[in-house]
Structure 1
Amino acid sequence: MVSYLWIKRVLDVIFAFVLLIVTSLIMLGAAIVIKLESKGPVLFKQERPGRMGVIFTICKFRTMRVETEKDGEPLSDMERMTRIGKILRKLSVDELPQLFNILKGEMSFIGPRPLLVQYLPLYTPEQMRRHEVTPGISGWAQVNGRNGVDWETRFEYDLWYVEHVSLRVDLMIFLRTLAIVVMRRGVNQAEGVTMEEFTVAEERTFRV
Protein backbone atom coordinates (compact mmCIF):
# COMPACT_ATOMS: atom_id res chain seq x y z
CA MET A 1 0.00 0.00 0.00
CA VAL A 2 2.87 2.36 0.80
CA SER A 3 4.20 2.25 -2.77
CA TYR A 4 0.74 2.95 -4.19
CA LEU A 5 0.19 5.90 -1.83
CA TRP A 6 3.37 7.46 -3.24
CA ILE A 7 2.11 6.95 -6.81
CA LYS A 8 -1.28 8.30 -5.77
CA ARG A 9 0.32 11.48 -4.47
CA VAL A 10 2.11 12.06 -7.78
CA LEU A 11 -1.14 11.53 -9.70
CA ASP A 12 -3.00 13.89 -7.34
CA VAL A 13 -0.53 16.71 -8.01
CA ILE A 14 -0.61 16.22 -11.78
CA PHE A 15 -4.40 16.07 -12.08
CA ALA A 16 -4.98 18.89 -9.59
CA PHE A 17 -2.66 21.18 -11.54
CA VAL A 18 -4.36 20.31 -14.84
CA LEU A 19 -7.86 20.76 -13.39
CA LEU A 20 -6.96 24.14 -11.92
CA ILE A 21 -6.07 25.31 -15.42
CA VAL A 22 -9.13 23.73 -17.07
CA THR A 23 -11.60 25.03 -14.45
CA SER A 24 -10.02 28.44 -13.86
CA LEU A 25 -12.75 30.32 -15.75
CA ILE A 26 -15.49 28.33 -13.96
CA MET A 27 -13.94 29.18 -10.61
CA LEU A 28 -13.64 32.84 -11.56
CA GLY A 29 -17.30 32.90 -12.63
CA ALA A 30 -18.38 31.18 -9.40
CA ALA A 31 -16.44 33.68 -7.32
CA ILE A 32 -18.07 36.62 -9.10
CA VAL A 33 -21.67 35.41 -8.77
CA ILE A 34 -21.15 34.45 -5.11
CA LYS A 35 -19.91 37.94 -4.35
CA LEU A 36 -22.74 39.59 -6.29
CA GLU A 37 -25.52 37.54 -4.72
CA SER A 38 -24.76 37.93 -1.02
CA LYS A 39 -22.36 39.64 1.33
CA GLY A 40 -19.50 37.72 2.82
CA PRO A 41 -16.30 36.02 1.66
CA VAL A 42 -16.17 34.02 -1.57
CA LEU A 43 -14.55 31.07 0.16
CA PHE A 44 -15.75 29.04 3.11
CA LYS A 45 -12.80 27.98 5.26
CA GLN A 46 -12.87 25.55 8.14
CA GLU A 47 -10.38 23.49 10.10
CA ARG A 48 -10.57 19.74 9.50
CA PRO A 49 -8.44 16.77 10.61
CA GLY A 50 -6.30 15.25 7.86
CA ARG A 51 -4.04 12.23 7.73
CA MET A 52 -2.93 11.11 11.21
CA GLY A 53 -5.33 13.70 12.62
CA VAL A 54 -3.19 16.69 11.58
CA ILE A 55 -5.40 19.78 11.38
CA PHE A 56 -5.59 21.74 8.12
CA THR A 57 -7.87 24.41 6.66
CA ILE A 58 -10.28 23.16 3.99
CA CYS A 59 -11.47 25.60 1.32
CA LYS A 60 -14.78 25.53 -0.55
CA PHE A 61 -16.87 28.09 -2.36
CA ARG A 62 -19.36 29.63 0.07
CA THR A 63 -22.89 28.35 -0.63
CA MET A 64 -24.71 29.86 2.36
CA ARG A 65 -25.47 33.34 3.62
CA VAL A 66 -23.27 34.49 6.49
CA GLU A 67 -26.36 35.33 8.58
CA THR A 68 -27.21 32.52 11.01
CA GLU A 69 -30.48 33.96 12.35
CA LYS A 70 -33.38 36.19 11.37
CA ASP A 71 -35.62 38.13 13.76
CA GLY A 72 -33.87 36.40 16.64
CA GLU A 73 -34.61 32.92 15.32
CA PRO A 74 -31.86 30.57 14.07
CA LEU A 75 -31.92 29.80 10.36
CA SER A 76 -31.68 26.23 9.06
CA ASP A 77 -29.12 25.26 6.43
CA MET A 78 -31.92 25.20 3.84
CA GLU A 79 -32.91 28.78 4.72
CA ARG A 80 -29.31 29.98 4.60
CA MET A 81 -28.57 28.37 1.25
CA THR A 82 -28.26 30.90 -1.57
CA ARG A 83 -29.71 30.35 -5.03
CA ILE A 84 -26.29 30.13 -6.61
CA GLY A 85 -25.18 27.96 -3.70
CA LYS A 86 -27.77 25.32 -4.58
CA ILE A 87 -26.50 25.25 -8.16
CA LEU A 88 -22.86 25.05 -7.10
CA ARG A 89 -23.62 22.12 -4.81
CA LYS A 90 -25.64 20.24 -7.41
CA LEU A 91 -22.76 20.54 -9.87
CA SER A 92 -20.11 20.02 -7.13
CA VAL A 93 -18.45 23.26 -8.26
CA ASP A 94 -18.24 24.33 -4.60
CA GLU A 95 -15.58 21.62 -4.13
CA LEU A 96 -13.14 23.04 -6.72
CA PRO A 97 -11.09 25.19 -4.29
CA GLN A 98 -10.05 21.95 -2.60
CA LEU A 99 -7.72 21.44 -5.56
CA PHE A 100 -5.38 23.78 -3.68
CA ASN A 101 -5.65 21.52 -0.62
CA ILE A 102 -4.62 18.62 -2.86
CA LEU A 103 -1.59 20.46 -4.22
CA LYS A 104 -0.51 21.21 -0.64
CA GLY A 105 -0.74 17.53 0.23
CA GLU A 106 -3.56 18.04 2.74
CA MET A 107 -6.12 16.19 0.65
CA SER A 108 -6.41 13.69 -2.18
CA PHE A 109 -8.99 13.26 -4.92
CA ILE A 110 -10.10 9.99 -3.33
CA GLY A 111 -10.30 9.23 0.38
CA PRO A 112 -12.60 9.54 3.42
CA ARG A 113 -14.16 13.00 3.59
CA PRO A 114 -12.53 15.17 6.30
CA LEU A 115 -15.07 15.75 9.07
CA LEU A 116 -15.27 18.40 11.80
CA VAL A 117 -12.50 18.77 14.36
CA GLN A 118 -14.96 18.58 17.26
CA TYR A 119 -15.83 15.02 16.27
CA LEU A 120 -12.32 13.73 17.07
CA PRO A 121 -12.98 13.00 20.79
CA LEU A 122 -16.14 11.06 19.84
CA TYR A 123 -14.48 8.43 17.65
CA THR A 124 -13.79 4.90 18.78
CA PRO A 125 -10.23 3.64 18.11
CA GLU A 126 -11.59 1.75 15.09
CA GLN A 127 -13.26 4.85 13.68
CA MET A 128 -10.03 6.82 14.14
CA ARG A 129 -8.46 4.55 11.51
CA ARG A 130 -10.14 6.68 8.85
CA HIS A 131 -7.22 9.08 9.41
CA GLU A 132 -4.64 6.50 8.34
CA VAL A 133 -5.03 7.76 4.77
CA THR A 134 -5.23 11.25 3.29
CA PRO A 135 -8.82 12.60 3.24
CA GLY A 136 -10.41 13.07 -0.16
CA ILE A 137 -12.90 15.14 -2.12
CA SER A 138 -14.83 11.95 -2.81
CA GLY A 139 -14.72 8.56 -1.15
CA TRP A 140 -16.33 5.15 -0.84
CA ALA A 141 -19.06 6.55 1.43
CA GLN A 142 -19.84 9.35 -1.04
CA VAL A 143 -20.42 6.97 -3.95
CA ASN A 144 -22.56 4.72 -1.77
CA GLY A 145 -25.11 7.26 -0.60
CA ARG A 146 -23.12 10.47 -0.17
CA ASN A 147 -24.92 12.54 2.53
CA GLY A 148 -27.87 10.14 2.57
CA VAL A 149 -26.26 7.39 4.70
CA ASP A 150 -26.25 7.26 8.50
CA TRP A 151 -23.07 7.77 10.49
CA GLU A 152 -22.54 4.11 11.35
CA THR A 153 -22.70 3.07 7.69
CA ARG A 154 -20.52 5.99 6.67
CA PHE A 155 -17.76 4.96 9.07
CA GLU A 156 -18.00 1.36 7.85
CA TYR A 157 -17.46 2.58 4.28
CA ASP A 158 -14.51 4.75 5.34
CA LEU A 159 -12.83 1.83 7.13
CA TRP A 160 -13.44 -0.42 4.16
CA TYR A 161 -11.57 2.06 1.99
CA VAL A 162 -8.63 2.25 4.41
CA GLU A 163 -8.30 -1.54 4.25
CA HIS A 164 -8.72 -1.81 0.46
CA VAL A 165 -7.07 1.34 -0.93
CA SER A 166 -5.61 0.61 -4.36
CA LEU A 167 -5.52 2.00 -7.88
CA ARG A 168 -8.46 -0.21 -8.89
CA VAL A 169 -10.60 1.00 -5.97
CA ASP A 170 -9.70 4.66 -6.58
CA LEU A 171 -10.58 4.39 -10.27
CA MET A 172 -13.91 2.77 -9.39
CA ILE A 173 -14.73 5.56 -6.93
CA PHE A 174 -13.66 8.20 -9.45
CA LEU A 175 -15.95 6.81 -12.17
CA ARG A 176 -18.87 6.48 -9.76
CA THR A 177 -18.29 10.05 -8.60
CA LEU A 178 -18.50 11.31 -12.18
CA ALA A 179 -21.79 9.44 -12.63
CA ILE A 180 -23.21 10.94 -9.42
CA VAL A 181 -22.21 14.47 -10.43
CA VAL A 182 -23.75 14.04 -13.89
CA MET A 183 -26.99 12.60 -12.48
CA ARG A 184 -26.88 15.07 -9.56
CA ARG A 185 -28.17 12.60 -7.00
CA GLY A 186 -27.30 12.15 -3.35
CA VAL A 187 -26.08 15.72 -2.87
CA ASN A 188 -28.22 16.33 0.19
CA GLN A 189 -30.18 14.34 2.68
CA ALA A 190 -33.92 14.14 2.31
CA GLU A 191 -34.57 16.29 5.37
CA GLY A 192 -31.69 18.73 5.18
CA VAL A 193 -28.97 20.28 3.13
CA THR A 194 -25.99 18.81 4.92
CA MET A 195 -25.09 15.67 6.81
CA GLU A 196 -26.69 15.70 10.25
CA GLU A 197 -24.38 16.34 13.19
CA PHE A 198 -22.40 13.46 14.68
CA THR A 199 -23.33 13.38 18.37
CA VAL A 200 -22.20 11.67 21.56
CA ALA A 201 -25.42 9.67 21.52
CA GLU A 202 -24.52 8.25 18.11
CA GLU A 203 -20.97 7.54 19.30
CA ARG A 204 -22.26 5.55 22.26
CA THR A 205 -24.41 3.48 19.93
CA PHE A 206 -21.36 2.56 17.88
CA ARG A 207 -19.55 1.32 21.01
CA VAL A 208 -22.20 -1.32 21.74
Structure 2
Amino acid sequence: MALRHLAETGTIDTIIMATDYKTNRDLFLEAIETTQLGVSIIPMATLYERSFGKIPVEHIDDQWYAALPAEHGQSVTPLYLVWRKSIDLLFGLCGTFLLLLILPLVALLIRLDSPGPIFYSQPRLGYRGRPFLIYKFRSMYIDAEQMGKALWSRKHDVRITRMGRFMRATHLDELPQVINILRGEMSLIGPRPEREEFVVELEQSVPFYRCRLMVTPGLTGWAQVKYHYGNTNRDTLVKLQHDLYYIKHQSITLDIFIMLKTVQEVLLYRGI
Protein backbone atom coordinates (compact mmCIF):
# COMPACT_ATOMS: atom_id res chain seq x y z
CA MET A 1 0.00 0.00 0.00
CA ALA A 2 2.81 2.40 -0.89
CA LEU A 3 0.46 4.95 -2.48
CA ARG A 4 -1.77 5.02 0.60
CA HIS A 5 1.24 5.58 2.84
CA LEU A 6 2.46 8.46 0.66
CA ALA A 7 -1.00 10.00 0.74
CA GLU A 8 -1.35 9.64 4.52
CA THR A 9 2.01 11.33 5.11
CA GLY A 10 1.14 14.20 2.77
CA THR A 11 4.00 13.33 0.42
CA ILE A 12 1.74 13.38 -2.64
CA ASP A 13 -1.37 15.37 -3.48
CA THR A 14 -1.85 14.36 -7.12
CA ILE A 15 -1.53 11.09 -9.04
CA ILE A 16 -1.10 11.09 -12.81
CA MET A 17 -2.71 7.89 -14.06
CA ALA A 18 -0.92 6.54 -17.12
CA THR A 19 -2.39 3.04 -16.89
CA ASP A 20 -5.90 1.62 -16.95
CA TYR A 21 -7.93 -0.79 -14.84
CA LYS A 22 -7.05 -3.85 -16.94
CA THR A 23 -3.28 -3.31 -16.92
CA ASN A 24 -2.76 -3.28 -13.14
CA ARG A 25 -5.98 -3.75 -11.19
CA ASP A 26 -4.42 -3.61 -7.70
CA LEU A 27 -2.50 -0.40 -8.44
CA PHE A 28 -5.59 1.15 -9.95
CA LEU A 29 -7.72 0.33 -6.88
CA GLU A 30 -5.00 1.60 -4.55
CA ALA A 31 -4.89 4.88 -6.44
CA ILE A 32 -8.68 5.19 -6.21
CA GLU A 33 -8.50 4.68 -2.41
CA THR A 34 -6.15 7.65 -2.05
CA THR A 35 -8.91 9.97 -3.27
CA GLN A 36 -10.53 9.50 0.16
CA LEU A 37 -7.43 11.14 1.61
CA GLY A 38 -7.72 14.20 -0.60
CA VAL A 39 -5.45 13.08 -3.44
CA SER A 40 -6.47 14.11 -6.96
CA ILE A 41 -6.22 11.67 -9.86
CA ILE A 42 -5.60 13.05 -13.34
CA PRO A 43 -5.48 10.80 -16.43
CA MET A 44 -2.26 11.20 -18.39
CA ALA A 45 -4.15 12.15 -21.55
CA THR A 46 -5.97 14.96 -19.73
CA LEU A 47 -2.75 16.39 -18.26
CA TYR A 48 -1.01 16.18 -21.62
CA GLU A 49 -3.89 18.02 -23.26
CA ARG A 50 -3.85 20.82 -20.67
CA SER A 51 -0.07 21.20 -20.70
CA PHE A 52 0.69 21.10 -24.42
CA GLY A 53 -2.53 22.21 -26.10
CA LYS A 54 -2.90 19.00 -28.09
CA ILE A 55 -4.55 15.59 -27.69
CA PRO A 56 -2.23 12.53 -27.53
CA VAL A 57 -4.19 10.36 -29.94
CA GLU A 58 -1.46 7.71 -30.10
CA HIS A 59 -1.43 7.14 -26.31
CA ILE A 60 -5.08 6.96 -25.26
CA ASP A 61 -5.74 3.26 -26.02
CA ASP A 62 -9.21 2.28 -24.74
CA GLN A 63 -9.85 5.91 -23.73
CA TRP A 64 -10.29 6.70 -27.43
CA TYR A 65 -13.45 8.68 -26.74
CA ALA A 66 -11.30 11.31 -24.97
CA ALA A 67 -9.77 12.24 -28.32
CA LEU A 68 -13.08 12.81 -30.04
CA PRO A 69 -14.44 16.36 -29.83
CA ALA A 70 -18.09 16.77 -28.95
CA GLU A 71 -20.50 16.79 -31.86
CA HIS A 72 -20.04 20.11 -33.63
CA GLY A 73 -22.88 22.41 -32.66
CA GLN A 74 -23.17 20.91 -29.17
CA SER A 75 -19.75 22.08 -28.02
CA VAL A 76 -20.17 25.73 -29.05
CA THR A 77 -22.53 28.46 -27.87
CA PRO A 78 -24.82 30.57 -30.08
CA LEU A 79 -22.63 33.58 -29.23
CA TYR A 80 -19.58 31.76 -30.56
CA LEU A 81 -21.38 30.81 -33.77
CA VAL A 82 -22.28 34.48 -34.31
CA TRP A 83 -18.64 35.40 -33.66
CA ARG A 84 -17.40 32.87 -36.22
CA LYS A 85 -19.82 34.03 -38.89
CA SER A 86 -18.97 37.67 -38.21
CA ILE A 87 -15.19 37.30 -38.49
CA ASP A 88 -15.57 35.12 -41.60
CA LEU A 89 -17.75 37.74 -43.29
CA LEU A 90 -15.57 40.67 -42.18
CA PHE A 91 -12.32 39.02 -43.23
CA GLY A 92 -13.87 37.75 -46.45
CA LEU A 93 -14.97 41.23 -47.51
CA CYS A 94 -11.77 43.00 -46.39
CA GLY A 95 -9.65 40.24 -47.90
CA THR A 96 -11.46 40.50 -51.22
CA PHE A 97 -10.83 44.25 -51.31
CA LEU A 98 -7.14 43.65 -50.59
CA LEU A 99 -7.00 40.91 -53.23
CA LEU A 100 -8.39 43.23 -55.90
CA LEU A 101 -6.03 46.00 -54.80
CA ILE A 102 -2.80 44.01 -55.12
CA LEU A 103 -3.87 41.66 -57.93
CA PRO A 104 -2.37 43.67 -60.83
CA LEU A 105 1.09 43.84 -59.22
CA VAL A 106 1.13 40.24 -57.96
CA ALA A 107 -0.14 38.92 -61.31
CA LEU A 108 2.63 40.80 -63.15
CA LEU A 109 5.36 39.48 -60.84
CA ILE A 110 4.10 35.89 -61.12
CA ARG A 111 4.05 36.03 -64.91
CA LEU A 112 7.49 37.67 -65.12
CA ASP A 113 8.95 35.02 -62.82
CA SER A 114 7.61 31.98 -64.69
CA PRO A 115 5.12 31.17 -67.46
CA GLY A 116 1.73 29.87 -66.50
CA PRO A 117 -1.57 30.94 -64.93
CA ILE A 118 -1.82 33.48 -62.10
CA PHE A 119 -4.15 31.41 -59.97
CA TYR A 120 -3.97 27.78 -58.97
CA SER A 121 -6.91 25.65 -57.88
CA GLN A 122 -6.91 22.20 -56.33
CA PRO A 123 -9.60 19.84 -54.98
CA ARG A 124 -9.68 19.63 -51.19
CA LEU A 125 -11.98 18.01 -48.64
CA GLY A 126 -14.09 20.37 -46.55
CA TYR A 127 -16.74 20.09 -43.87
CA ARG A 128 -17.87 16.46 -43.46
CA GLY A 129 -15.71 15.43 -46.39
CA ARG A 130 -17.43 17.59 -49.01
CA PRO A 131 -15.01 18.32 -51.89
CA PHE A 132 -14.36 21.88 -53.04
CA LEU A 133 -11.78 23.79 -55.07
CA ILE A 134 -9.29 25.77 -53.03
CA TYR A 135 -7.77 28.86 -54.66
CA LYS A 136 -4.21 30.17 -54.40
CA PHE A 137 -1.78 32.35 -56.24
CA ARG A 138 0.43 29.96 -58.23
CA SER A 139 3.72 29.48 -56.38
CA MET A 140 5.15 26.54 -58.35
CA TYR A 141 6.25 25.94 -61.90
CA ILE A 142 3.60 24.39 -64.14
CA ASP A 143 3.51 20.55 -64.27
CA ALA A 144 5.00 20.42 -60.78
CA GLU A 145 3.46 16.98 -60.21
CA GLN A 146 4.68 14.45 -62.73
CA MET A 147 2.05 12.06 -64.10
CA GLY A 148 -0.57 13.81 -61.95
CA LYS A 149 0.65 12.03 -58.79
CA ALA A 150 -0.02 13.90 -55.53
CA LEU A 151 3.23 14.96 -53.88
CA TRP A 152 3.89 16.57 -50.51
CA SER A 153 5.42 20.03 -50.69
CA ARG A 154 8.89 20.01 -49.11
CA LYS A 155 11.12 22.60 -47.52
CA HIS A 156 13.38 24.16 -50.18
CA ASP A 157 11.22 22.47 -52.81
CA VAL A 158 12.78 23.04 -56.24
CA ARG A 159 9.31 23.21 -57.78
CA ILE A 160 8.66 26.54 -56.06
CA THR A 161 9.37 29.70 -58.04
CA ARG A 162 11.27 32.72 -56.68
CA MET A 163 8.06 34.70 -56.37
CA GLY A 164 6.46 31.61 -54.92
CA ARG A 165 8.99 31.47 -52.08
CA PHE A 166 8.20 35.05 -51.14
CA MET A 167 4.47 34.45 -51.27
CA ARG A 168 4.70 31.30 -49.18
CA ALA A 169 6.91 32.97 -46.60
CA THR A 170 4.36 35.77 -46.20
CA HIS A 171 1.34 33.48 -46.81
CA LEU A 172 0.37 35.82 -49.64
CA ASP A 173 -0.30 32.81 -51.88
CA GLU A 174 -3.23 31.91 -49.60
CA LEU A 175 -5.02 35.27 -50.04
CA PRO A 176 -7.34 34.09 -52.87
CA GLN A 177 -8.93 31.75 -50.33
CA VAL A 178 -11.02 34.73 -49.20
CA ILE A 179 -13.25 33.59 -52.09
CA ASN A 180 -13.62 30.19 -50.43
CA ILE A 181 -14.46 31.92 -47.15
CA LEU A 182 -17.17 34.08 -48.73
CA ARG A 183 -18.62 30.98 -50.40
CA GLY A 184 -18.81 29.19 -47.03
CA GLU A 185 -16.37 26.46 -48.05
CA MET A 186 -13.77 27.67 -45.54
CA SER A 187 -13.56 29.75 -42.38
CA LEU A 188 -10.84 32.11 -41.23
CA ILE A 189 -9.85 29.65 -38.48
CA GLY A 190 -9.91 25.86 -38.56
CA PRO A 191 -7.86 22.82 -39.62
CA ARG A 192 -6.18 23.29 -42.99
CA PRO A 193 -8.09 21.48 -45.78
CA GLU A 194 -6.25 18.50 -47.23
CA ARG A 195 -6.33 16.66 -50.53
CA GLU A 196 -8.48 13.54 -50.67
CA GLU A 197 -5.53 11.38 -51.75
CA PHE A 198 -3.63 12.35 -48.61
CA VAL A 199 -6.67 11.93 -46.35
CA VAL A 200 -7.24 8.38 -47.61
CA GLU A 201 -3.55 7.57 -47.12
CA LEU A 202 -3.17 9.21 -43.70
CA GLU A 203 -6.30 7.79 -42.10
CA GLN A 204 -4.79 4.32 -42.55
CA SER A 205 -1.86 5.14 -40.28
CA VAL A 206 -2.89 8.17 -38.19
CA PRO A 207 -5.69 7.53 -35.65
CA PHE A 208 -8.71 9.84 -35.84
CA TYR A 209 -7.37 11.74 -38.87
CA ARG A 210 -10.81 12.02 -40.46
CA CYS A 211 -12.11 13.76 -37.31
CA ARG A 212 -10.61 16.96 -38.75
CA LEU A 213 -13.55 17.00 -41.14
CA MET A 214 -16.00 17.60 -38.28
CA VAL A 215 -15.62 21.36 -38.74
CA THR A 216 -15.18 23.79 -41.61
CA PRO A 217 -11.51 24.02 -42.66
CA GLY A 218 -9.68 27.28 -42.10
CA LEU A 219 -7.21 29.70 -43.65
CA THR A 220 -5.19 29.53 -40.45
CA GLY A 221 -5.48 27.42 -37.33
CA TRP A 222 -4.12 26.19 -34.02
CA ALA A 223 -1.84 23.65 -35.70
CA GLN A 224 -0.42 26.31 -38.03
CA VAL A 225 0.59 28.68 -35.22
CA LYS A 226 1.78 25.97 -32.83
CA TYR A 227 3.81 23.72 -35.13
CA HIS A 228 6.24 24.23 -37.98
CA TYR A 229 5.55 23.11 -41.53
CA GLY A 230 6.03 19.39 -42.04
CA ASN A 231 5.58 16.69 -44.65
CA THR A 232 6.04 13.43 -42.75
CA ASN A 233 3.54 11.15 -41.00
CA ARG A 234 5.03 12.26 -37.67
CA ASP A 235 4.43 15.91 -38.52
CA THR A 236 0.89 15.06 -39.61
CA LEU A 237 0.22 13.29 -36.31
CA VAL A 238 1.41 16.27 -34.26
CA LYS A 239 -0.71 18.67 -36.31
CA LEU A 240 -3.72 16.39 -35.89
CA GLN A 241 -3.24 16.53 -32.11
CA HIS A 242 -3.41 20.34 -32.30
CA ASP A 243 -6.39 20.30 -34.68
CA LEU A 244 -8.40 18.01 -32.39
CA TYR A 245 -7.57 20.22 -29.42
CA TYR A 246 -8.91 23.25 -31.30
CA ILE A 247 -12.10 21.47 -32.36
CA LYS A 248 -12.66 20.37 -28.77
CA HIS A 249 -11.92 23.77 -27.18
CA GLN A 250 -13.22 26.31 -29.70
CA SER A 251 -13.71 29.71 -28.11
CA ILE A 252 -13.52 33.42 -28.88
CA THR A 253 -10.39 33.73 -26.74
CA LEU A 254 -8.62 30.90 -28.57
CA ASP A 255 -9.60 32.37 -31.95
CA ILE A 256 -8.22 35.80 -31.02
CA PHE A 257 -4.97 34.19 -29.90
CA ILE A 258 -4.67 32.32 -33.21
CA MET A 259 -5.32 35.50 -35.21
CA LEU A 260 -2.66 37.43 -33.28
CA LYS A 261 -0.14 34.61 -33.69
CA THR A 262 -0.92 34.43 -37.41
CA VAL A 263 -0.23 38.16 -37.82
CA GLN A 264 3.06 37.63 -35.98
CA GLU A 265 4.01 34.74 -38.27
CA VAL A 266 3.32 36.85 -41.37
CA LEU A 267 5.24 39.89 -40.09
CA LEU A 268 8.21 37.75 -39.09
CA TYR A 269 8.30 36.05 -42.48
CA ARG A 270 7.88 32.55 -41.02
CA GLY A 271 5.87 30.88 -43.77
CA ILE A 272 6.98 27.71 -45.55
> TM-score higher than 0.5 here?
yes
State yes or no: 1:173 paired with 2:258.
Answer: yes
Identity of aligned residues (%): 39
State yes or no: 1:135 paired with 2:135.
Answer: no
Which residue number in structure 2 is paired with residue 191 of structure 1? none
SS of corresponding position for 1:146: coil
State yes or no: 1:90 paired with 2:175.
Answer: no
State yes or no: 1:42 paired with 2:124.
Answer: no
Deviation at 1:146, TM superposition (A): 3.4
SS of corresponding position for 1:130: helix
* 1:27/1:96 contact within 8 Å kept: no
State yes or no: 1:160 paired with 2:245.
Answer: yes
- Structure 1: runs of 5 or more not aligned: 71-75, 189-208
Deviation at 1:51, TM superposition (A): 0.7
TM-score (norm 2): 0.62
TM-score (norm 1): 0.80
Deviation at 1:98, TM superposition (A): 0.2
Which residue number in structure 2 is paired with residue 151 of structure 1? 236
Letter in 2 for 1:159: L
**Which contiguous aligned blocks of 4+ residues in structure 1 show a shift greater than 4 angstroms?**
none
Letter in 2 for 1:98: Q
* 1:40/1:66 contact within 8 Å kept: yes
* 1:51/1:133 contact within 8 Å kept: yes
* 2:199/2:209 contact within 8 Å kept: no
* 1:46/1:58 contact within 8 Å kept: yes
Deviation at 1:111, TM superposition (A): 0.4
- The Cα RMSD (Å) is 2.1
* Pair 26,125 (structure 1): closer, same or farther in 2 beyond 3 Å: same
> Superposed, which structure 2 residues align to 1:51-62 within 5 Å?
51-62=127-138
CA distance in structure 1 between the aligned counterparts of 2:129 and 2:82, rounded to whole angstroms = 19
- Structure 2: runs of 5 or more not aligned: 1-75, 147-152
SS of corresponding position for 2:222: coil
* Pair 14,69 (structure 1): closer, same or farther in 2 beyond 3 Å: closer
1:79-126, CA deviations, whole angstroms, 9 ceiling, x for partnerless residues?
221111111111111011000000000001110000111123342662
* Paired residue total: 182
State yes or no: 1:108 paired with 2:158.
Answer: no
CA distance in structure 2 between the aligned counterparts of 1:49 and 1:69, rounded to whole angstroms = 19
State yes or no: 1:117 paired with 2:196.
Answer: yes
* Pair 18,127 (structure 1): closer, same or farther in 2 beyond 3 Å: same
Letter in 2 for 1:100: I
Q: Out of 119-128 and 45-54, give the one that drifted further.
A: 119-128
Bigger radius of gyration:
2
